[in-house]
Amino acid sequence: MSLGSYRITESTMALFSEDGRHVTLTMPIGAFITMESATFDGSVLVDVVWDGKKVMMFTHDLRLRAERVAE
């Protein structure tokens, strides 16, 4: 279930799983993501979907570097 869509306003880090380990990637400015996790406080990692892929981002980065968009 989607909990909202966001647009990245400043490039930031995201993590994804590859061959059983976490790999970082840079989420580019203008990327659209969809929230998958209900928790959006603190500095925990939350699941988001970007370009059809499940990735994890820190809530702190989302609060500072993303803006909610109308669906």
- Cα 66 from Cα 31, distance rounded (Å): 9
pLDDT at 18: 87
Q: What is the mean pLDDT of residues 53-67?
A: 91
Residue 64 confidence (pLDDT) above 80 = yes
Model confidence, pTM: 0.82
- Condensed to tens digits (0 to 9), the pLDDT of residues 2-59 reads 578 999 999 999 999 889 898 999 999 999 999 876 665 566 888 899 999 999 998 8
- Cα 30 from Cα 44, distance rounded (Å): 23
- Cα 71 from Cα 68, distance rounded (Å): 9
Identify the CA nearest to 45 among candidates 30, 34, 58: 58
Reduced to 3 states, what is the DSSP secondary structure of residue 12? strand
